[in-house]
Amino acid sequence: MDEVILPYMAWKSDEGLPDWNDIAVELSRQRLGRGYDVVVADEVQDFSANQLRAVQRQMADVNFSVTFVLDQVQQIYARGFTWQEVGLQITARDTVRLTQNHRNTVEIAQFARSILRDIDVSEEGTIPDFSRCITSGRKPIVVRGKFQSQLDFAINYIANNVDGENESVAFLHPKGWFNFVKDGLSAAGLGWVEITRESEWPQGDEYIALSTLHSAKGLEFDHVFLLGLNEQVTREHGDEEGDTQLETLRKLFAMAVGRAKKSVIVGYKPGEESVLIQYIDPATYEEVNA
């Protein structure tokens, strides 16, 4: 508190700047106009209590409809409150489970599902169901080798398998370390844009995006590359099964994989691999030694 929170609050006050929680608190205290008759909120599993209060405050007084779309499996921020604590009474009669998978191929869903095996899922979550996919394709690829070899494989894959006129590509990374990727793509004559913390895709002809895993949440791409998955970039977790930090990391990884519509390529350096690699079922991917 003394080293981080209080200095941060003092800095905000001195600069006259609000953060997202300040905005949520203000919106939970006052209504904009007469209130909304129909409210749809997406990714609600990661809303804070104040954000939910803000949503409720913006509803009309009578005859309103509110729909929350959420998936506990994709929850990447800890939630320390219940629906009742924020004034919501949600029962089984109020919920509808969406099961059809319109984005992923069967093979991508199988790959993502293996990452989440043995994780306890509440009634608000849905493990990827590959029996409910409507398309099929090639298995995801796991590339073993030094990072430069992983990147060379990715660039060659894009050149031979991606239609730049009609398809999108994302390079996702837990830390957003993209210097080598930028250099490699530029050297290959491939344009790219960074979308971390961007609310909209930048205007231009580029079809390759660079993003952290968190910022890719809610987005989708035809092809997803997760290179450099070494322990160095995913070490903020405990080592025990059931550790909440490790489970959150696995959910984040599965969420990133689930951004892909057509293909997934994961890369790591043998001997330095992230703990995440051990959760992938070998039967769900093709292995390449680069």
pLDDT digits (tens, 9 = 90+) for 179-196: 999 999 999 999 999 998
- φ/ψ of residue 119, rounded to 5: -80, 130
pLDDT digits (tens, 9 = 90+) for 250-260: 989 999 999 99
Binning pLDDT at 50, 70 and 90, where does residue 118 land?
Answer: confident
Q: How many CB atoms lie within 10 A of CB 206?
A: 17
Residue 288 pLDDT: 97
Average pLDDT over residues 49-62: 94
Q: What is the mean pLDDT of residues 64-93?
A: 84
Q: Is the pTM of this model over 0.75?
A: yes
Tokens of 195: 């979308």
State mean pLDDT over 9-13.
Answer: 95
Statement: residue 221 has pLDDT above 90: yes
Cα angle: 187, vertex 188, 194; to 5 degrees: 80
Check whether 21 has a pLDDT greater than 90: yes
**Averaged pLDDT of the chain:** 89
Is the pLDDT assigned to residue 132 strictly greater than 90? no
**pLDDT of 153 strictly over 60:** yes
Q: What is the pLDDT, as a whole number, of residue 243?
A: 57
Task: Please give the pLDDT value at position 197.
Answer: 79
Two structure tokens written together for 140: 């995801």
- Considering only residues 245 and 4, tell me which one the structure prediction assigns the higher pLDDT: 4
Among the listed ranges 82-96, 208-222, 242-256, which one has the minimum average pLDDT value? 242-256
Distance in angstroms (rounded) separating the CA atoms of residues 95 and 90: 8
- With vertex at residue 150, the alpha carbon angle to CA 144 and CA 155, rounded to the nearest 5 degrees, is 145
Q: In this predicted model, which residue has the larger pLDDT, 217 or 129?
A: 217
What pLDDT does 79 receive?
Answer: 74
Quote the Cα angle for 152-113-244, to 5°.
95
Percentage of the chain beyond pLDDT 90 is 64
Query: Taking residues 212-233, what's their average pLDDT?
Result: 93
Average pLDDT over residues 14-26: 95
pLDDT of residue 51: 95
Confidence of residue 100 (pLDDT cuts 50, 70, 90): confident
* pLDDT tens readout for residues 194-207: 998 776 767 778 99
70 closest CA partner among 54, 83, 56, 57 = 83
Distance CA 106, CA 86 (A): 38
pLDDT average, residue stretch 83-89? 89
Q: Is the pLDDT of residue 124 over 80?
A: no
